[in-house]
Amino acid sequence: MLAALIFYLFAGILSLSALMVITARNPVHSVLFLILAFFNAAGLFVMLGAEFIGMLLVIVYVGAVAVLFLFVVMMLNMEFKELRKGSMRFIPVGLLLGGVLLTELVIVYQTWKINPKVLTETLGDSAAAPEVPLTNTEALGQILYTDYIYIFQGAGMILLVAMIGAIVLTLRERSGLKRQKVADQQKRQASDVLEIKKVTPGTGI
Amino acid sequence: MLEYYTFFGLSIPVFLVGIGVLIGALLLSVAYLTYFERKVLGAMQRRQGPMTVGPLGLLQPIADGLKLFSKETIIPSAAHRAVFLIAPMLLFMLALIAWAVIPVGAQMVLSNINVGILYLFAVSSMGVYGVIMAGWASNSRYAFLGAMRSASQMVSYEVSMGLIIVSVLLVCGSLNLSEIVLAERPWFAQILLIPMFVVFLVSILAETNRAPFDLPEGESELSGGFMVEYSSMTFALFFLGEYANMILMSGMTVVLFMGGWLAPLPLEAFEYVPGIVWFVLKTTLVLFFFIWARATFPRYRYDQLMRLGWKVFLPFTLGWIVLMSGTLLAFDALP
Amino acid sequence: MINLPISIDAIIPEITLACGAMFLLIIGALSKRIITNTLSYAAVLLLIFTFFLLVSLNWDTSISMNGFFVMDSFAGLIKSAVLLSMAGVLALSTGYMKREEIVAFEYPILVLLSTLGMMVMVSANDLLSLYIGLELQSLALYVLATIRRNSLRSAEAGIKYFVLGALSSGMILFGSSIIYGFAGTTNFTAIAEAFSANPDMKLGLSMGLVFLLSGLAFKISAAPFHMWTPDVYEGAPTSVTALFAIVPKLAALALMMRIFCEPFMGLQDMWVQILWVLSVASMLVGAFAALTQENIKRLLAYSSIGNVGYALIGIIVGGTGGLGATLYYFLIYMAMTAGTFGIIMSLRREGASLEKIESLEGMSKTHPVQAYVLAILMFSMSGIPPMAGFFGKLFIFESAIAGGYIYLAVLGVVSSVVAAYYYLRIIKVMFFDEQVEELQYETNVPRDAVIIVSILIITGLVLMPEPLLIMTQNATASLF
């Protein structure tokens, strides 16, 4: 009962904020609603018993990715009204295409049923499960670096390429910049730059 | 089915009372943390600190609170009203909800979830939104600059904080905060964790926007930064949120590195002291460090701050994790 | 020897390539001077070394890495072609990059990493590894398209390519999720098994396949998903355009062949219809839209769209005959394109690189050798009988007729006759138009070597077209 209530709370806010993401007039509000949607999705994950994924969603998407989103949107100061001016013309086409796609998906999903083989395999595994059930994190860790190592490393290479790309496209070496070199500052001795002269009165140097 | 995300074996009234007690204690600590800070700063600067209201100035925080309550809440006409008002509430709320998972004593935790540390990290990483929203919604240049500084600073230091947490997890082998406290740590792991502890202490200064990393507020250049447009209760919420965050981060440090509610030395006399007392004492010690740092160091320049985060802490923690996992593997001490 | 929980023997070439690329990246980042050229030559050597490692492997069909990776003679052949042509492309580009003052040392590294992505794609035996490989190669290519970041057109090309590429990746993911939802697995072999066990999941699988296929059609720029191609080819630096035109499509076509032959063989009646439309549309777009182009790079873009159309015919026909003919055709196309781009990159007019077709005017008088080489390449591209390109088209159309796709063959012949017009127009401009401005030919040893190899392949195949065909057919036999 309570679980159902909490589920509907999360799911309801999630769908509403997803709707607001695309309808909000102010792009910053859109991003804020997107964050709310992420957060509620994380709540749903926790309810599913996938607490690790849920927390990761908050840490990575809410805590880091969406911050940068918000940054960009705030800095750009876009006039979305201008951008949206022409878009009303395409709404009929969009609705038509969306409607066709939705109908197709509905028809397709009506034929859906769980592949019996999958059912037997998962159930078979849980029957042979150890006495103390694994936590999420342990379960993920056990397959991520063994069964899925190929994919994991591949994803790592993709991130490397993304990093190289970001650096290639944005890093500009400017010449003639003055930079602080802490080591050089520390190395500097008073005797290198300072000369003490004994000046007798009335003579000058 | 229900138990792991609702009441953790506690009946609803007990649970609600627990929440009430925790929040009450927290608010009281926040109030007296400000008093503590002013007293310590005063002592360090050879002044007396608050003296007039009540004996030894003990009623000063309450007087300050009443003063803030009685002021008018000003909302700038160009501000985005809803976001402007949500921002301080969010910041304060986040500082409170994180306490749900922190074990203040043996079995004394509201929800003993098995990804406690991730939850804590997630909540602390969301704190940045309060700041950004405040800065943007104020529609003021100072506020926006402060918010930008704060966001980039918090995101940068979160990376190394995450890595430090990973190093603790390597030693303890659990994401549950109580288990982290209770886990047996081999002596060499303890030694290896000391540099991480130092980096963590510096990082939490940056994460809570405290001196010497208080550039987002930077009163000398930004006249108060992201909260420049806030007044009265909205300002009070920011203020409370900041101090509650300090306490939260201190609590996190205590749990991760200082043995939580356990006694510092295995003396028999210490056995009779309840765990919560040790927890409070240790937290106070870390809080003292916060204030000490504020009294000691001048504010960092912005580029120095970024350099420290990305070019010093990140490579160092990354390398240290490799070293630690290697050592643990070599001694066969992985949990 | 360390005991690993899984055998990594089959992916040694990939590991070598990845480690080599990272090593070169570190060298480039640490070096004080700009050493793009040295790194390029090192990358060429690395690619050739990887090729030898690949050849030394056992090419018998084997599945490893927990079902994510398959090695068979098909993958072996395609990967060899990818590695060698990538080495060729890098050799082509060294002189060009230097002259155009594109100094980013990351250029050869991104080329290496996109090669790695293609190898992963070709060996994919799972929707996950398919996606990882595809994304690795396209991400590197997005950056390469934008690498001349001071040029507005290069930036525009990069953004267009990136946005549309991301959209197509999204479609692939969406399709994969539908397929996973119905089949309950992402493994190719297991999908085929699941489908044969309950055929009533056909509707769902074909829905997923449609999305997957539209995403892949973006990547091979088959019409009507070709819109990005001319702009990107025009805007990107010519050496990168050469790369786009030559290599990635081979990997994507190979991937398509694998998914059609393994997991979705049972849905043949579905995807043949889609491919039929894609193929005819590409051939027609490639033939007619190119007629009015003045820019050589745009022209070659449309030409590549048309060639993908021909290549798809073989996949529609299926079987070792059809697939073998497609591979044969595409390998020849790659050789021809490499030669063509080599010559275009070498030509300069008044210090600027060549872009317009009319700039080739009177080339036969000033640079007769190069003009004849380009003429041979153009004859071959248009499929005029003695050249290798003719055999490529011949085998494709032959297989189409043998498979009963008469209309496809007729449409193919018609469109290639139309396409012959613009290939021959280049020859006409070179040989019969009066020269207005002086044209310089810049000699660069690696680039000229690639051109010579390309000409040797084309003329060599005239003498004996059969062995390569047998080779490609044998390779595709491992798919069935």
Give the single-character DSSP code of C267: G
pLDDT surpasses 60 at A123: no
Q: Spell out the alpha helix ranges (H) of A111-148.
A: 116-127, 136-144
- Give C183→chain A minimum CA distance, Å: 6
Task: Mark yes or no for CB contact B132/A35 under 8 Å.
Answer: no
- Indicate contact of A with B: 3+ CB pairs under 8 A: yes
Residues of B in contact with A64 (CB under 8 A): 125, 155, 158
Select from C2, C14, C94, C89 the least CA-distant residue to C57.
C14
pLDDT surpasses 80 at C2: no
A136 touches chain B (CB under 8 A): yes
The pLDDT assigned to A198 comes to 81
Task: Mark yes or no for CB contact B115/A55 under 8 Å.
Answer: yes
Interface test with C, best of A101, A102, A145, A158 (most C CBs within 10 A): A158
Q: How many CB atoms lie within 10 A of CB A69?
A: 17
Task: Mark yes or no for CB contact C128/A151 under 8 Å.
Answer: yes
The pLDDT assigned to A161 comes to 94
C142 touches chain A (CB under 8 A): yes
Q: Report yes or no on B192 lying in a domain.
A: yes
Q: For B302, list phi and psi in degrees, rounded to 5.
A: -60, -45
The pLDDT assigned to C49 comes to 95
What average pLDDT does this structure show over B261-284?
Answer: 81
Tell me: the pLDDT tens digits for C270-302?
889 999 999 999 999 999 998 888 888 999 999
- Separation CA C345–CA C447 (nearest Å): 9
Q: How many CB atoms lie within 10 A of CB B71?
A: 12
- Give A180→chain B minimum CA distance, Å: 10
End-to-end C-alpha distance for chain C, whole angstroms = 36
| Chain C partners (3+ C-beta pairs within 8 A) | A
- Separation CA A191–CA C456 (nearest Å): 72
pLDDT surpasses 50 at B7: no
A167 touches chain C (CB under 8 A): yes
Interface test with B, best of A10, A33, A55 (most B CBs within 10 A): A55
- Separation CA C431–CA B275 (nearest Å): 95
Helix (H) or strand (E) holding C64: strand C62-64
Lowest-confidence region among A105-114, A156-165, B303-312, C39-48: A105-114
Structural domains of chain B, count: 1
Q: Report yes or no on B160 lying in a domain.
A: yes
Look up residue B185 and give its two tokens: 């740590």
B75 touches chain A (CB under 8 A): no
* Contact present, B77 and B139 (Cβ < 8 Å): no
Q: Report yes or no on B335 lying in a domain.
A: no
Of C69, C132, C183, the CB nearest to A155: C132
- Give B187→chain A minimum CA distance, Å: 25
Q: Tell me the pLDDT band of B329, cut-offs 50, 70 and 90.
A: confident
Task: Mark yes or no for CB contact A160/C201 under 8 Å.
Answer: no
**CA–CA distances in Å: residue C46 to residues C14, C49, C157, C448:** 11, 5, 29, 20
* Contact present, C242 and C341 (Cβ < 8 Å): yes
Q: What's the domain range around B33?
A: 14-330
| DSSP bridge partners of B108 | B105
**CA–CA distances in Å: residue B78 to residues B71, B216, B233, C249:** 21, 22, 19, 54
The pLDDT assigned to B4 comes to 41
Q: Report yes or no on B6 lying in a domain.
A: no
- Separation CA C433–CA C405 (nearest Å): 41
Of B1, B114, B122, the CB nearest to A59: B122
Burial degree of B10 (CB within 10 A; 0-12, 13-18, 19+): middle
* Contact present, B29 and B104 (Cβ < 8 Å): no
Task: Mark yes or no for CB contact B136/A63 under 8 Å.
Answer: no
**CA–CA distances in Å: residue C95 to residues C45, C89, C105, C454:** 16, 11, 14, 18
pLDDT surpasses 80 at C243: yes
ipTM computed for the complex: 0.92
Residue with tokens 């602080």: A180
Residues of C in contact with A151 (CB under 8 A): 68, 128-129, 132
| Collapsed DSSP state (helix, strand, coil) of residue B106 | coil
What average pLDDT does this structure show over C185-202?
Answer: 87
- B145: Cβ–Cβ under 8 A, 6 or more apart, which residues? B135, B222, B225
Of C11, C113, C149, the CB nearest to A157: C113
Select from B25, B48, B88 the least CA-distant residue to B229.
B88
Mean pLDDT of the residues in chain B: 83
Which string of DSSP letters, residue by residue, matches C426-449?
HHHHHHHSPP-S--EE---HHHHH
Helix (H) or strand (E) holding C69: strand C69-71
pLDDT surpasses 80 at B247: yes
Look up residue C263 and give its two tokens: 């997991």
Which string of DSSP letters, residue by residue, matches C45-60?
HHHHHHHHHHHHS--S
pLDDT surpasses 90 at C132: yes
Task: Mark yes or no for CB contact A29/B83 under 8 Å.
Answer: yes
B172 touches chain A (CB under 8 A): no
C8 touches chain A (CB under 8 A): no
Of B1, B115, B129, the CB nearest to A51: B115
- Separation CA B76–CA B84 (nearest Å): 9
* Contact present, A31 and A66 (Cβ < 8 Å): yes
Residue with tokens 């003919």: C325
Which string of DSSP letters, residue by residue, matches A29-83?
HHHHHHHHHHHHHHHHHHHTT-HHHHHHIIIIIIIIIHHHHHHHHHHHT--HHHH
The pLDDT assigned to B56 comes to 82
C128 touches chain A (CB under 8 A): yes
| Collapsed DSSP state (helix, strand, coil) of residue C353 | strand
- B287: Cβ–Cβ under 8 A, 6 or more apart, which residues? B33, B36, B246, B247, B250
Task: Mark yes or no for CB contact B132/A70 under 8 Å.
Answer: yes
- Give B2→chain A minimum CA distance, Å: 7
* Contact present, C258 and C118 (Cβ < 8 Å): no
Task: Mark yes or no for CB contact C194/A115 under 8 Å.
Answer: yes
In chain C, how long is the greatest CA-to-CA distance?
70
Lowest-confidence region among B223-232, B294-303, C304-313: B223-232
Helices and strands per DSSP (H, E), number in chain A:
11, 0
- Separation CA B235–CA A56 (nearest Å): 31
Task: Mark yes or no for CB contact A107/C203 under 8 Å.
Answer: yes
**Nearest-Cα residue of chain A relative to residue B113:** A51
Task: Mark yes or no for CB contact B2/A47 under 8 Å.
Answer: no
Tell me: the pLDDT tens digits for A59-112?
888 888 888 888 888 877 766 666 667 777 788 888 999 999 899 888 888 888
- Give C247→chain A minimum CA distance, Å: 19
A182 touches chain B (CB under 8 A): no
- Separation CA C342–CA C327 (nearest Å): 22
State the pTM of this model. 0.88
Of A29, A46, A136, the CB nearest to B5: A46
B6 touches chain A (CB under 8 A): yes
Q: Report yes or no on B108 lying in a domain.
A: yes
* Contact present, C58 and C46 (Cβ < 8 Å): no
Interfacial A residues in 140-159 facing C (CB < 8 Å) = 146-151, 153-155, 157-158
What average pLDDT does this structure show over B282-286?
Answer: 91
Look up residue C447 and give its two tokens: 């680039």
**Nearest-Cα residue of chain A relative to residue C147:** A169
Residue with tokens 């878009």: A87
Interface test with A, best of B121, B126, B180, B226 (most A CBs within 10 A): B126
Pairing of β C352-353 and β C69-71: unpaired
Q: Tell me the pLDDT band of C76, cut-offs 50, 70 and 90.
A: very high
- Separation CA C161–CA C123 (nearest Å): 25
- Give A67→chain C minimum CA distance, Å: 21
- Indicate contact of B with C: 3+ CB pairs under 8 A: no
User: Is residue B73 left, alpha or beta, with left meaning phi > 0 and alpha meaning psi from -120 to 50?
Assistant: beta
Task: Mark yes or no for CB contact C185/A151 under 8 Å.
Answer: no
- Separation CA C195–CA C182 (nearest Å): 9
The pLDDT assigned to C108 comes to 92
Domain extent listing, chain C: 1-263, 266-480
The pLDDT assigned to C81 comes to 93
| Ordered structural domains, chain A, with CATH | 1-81 (1.20.120.1200)
**CA–CA distances in Å: residue C451 to residues C87, C302, C344:** 13, 22, 11
The pLDDT assigned to C1 comes to 43
Give the single-character DSSP code of B158: H
A65 touches chain B (CB under 8 A): no
Lowest-confidence region among B177-181, C158-162, C352-356: C352-356
What average pLDDT does this structure show over C430-439?
Answer: 80
pLDDT surpasses 80 at B333: no
Task: Mark yes or no for CB contact B115/A62 under 8 Å.
Answer: no
Residues of A in contact with C142 (CB under 8 A): 165
Residues of C in contact with A160 (CB under 8 A): 22, 113
C27 touches chain A (CB under 8 A): no
Look up residue B323 and give its two tokens: 């070293």
The pLDDT assigned to B2 comes to 37
Look up residue C211 and give its two tokens: 């999305």
* Contact present, B226 and B143 (Cβ < 8 Å): yes
pLDDT surpasses 90 at A160: yes
Residues of A in contact with C129 (CB under 8 A): 150-151, 154
* Contact present, C373 and C455 (Cβ < 8 Å): yes
What average pLDDT does this structure show over C306-313?
Answer: 92
* Contact present, C353 and C238 (Cβ < 8 Å): yes
Pairing of β C347-349 and β C69-71: unpaired
Residues of C in contact with A114 (CB under 8 A): 184
pLDDT surpasses 60 at C250: yes
The pLDDT assigned to B160 comes to 87
Look up residue A82 and give its two tokens: 């201008």
Tell me: the pLDDT tens digits for B141-164?
888 888 888 888 888 888 888 899
Residue with tokens 């990393």: B213
Tell me: the pLDDT tens digits for C367-410?
888 888 999 999 898 888 878 888 889 889 999 999 888 999 99
pLDDT surpasses 80 at A175: no
Residues shown for chain A: 205
Residues of A in contact with C196 (CB under 8 A): none
Tell me: the pLDDT tens digits for B99-118?
888 888 777 777 778 888 88
The pLDDT assigned to B23 comes to 87
The pLDDT assigned to C280 comes to 93
Task: Mark yes or no for CB contact C136/A161 under 8 Å.
Answer: yes
Task: Mark yes or no for CB contact A165/C143 under 8 Å.
Answer: yes
The pLDDT assigned to C431 comes to 87
The pLDDT assigned to A131 comes to 56
The pLDDT assigned to C4 comes to 62
Q: How many CB atoms lie within 10 A of CB C201?
A: 23
- Separation CA C47–CA C113 (nearest Å): 11
pLDDT surpasses 60 at A119: yes
- Give B5→chain A minimum CA distance, Å: 7
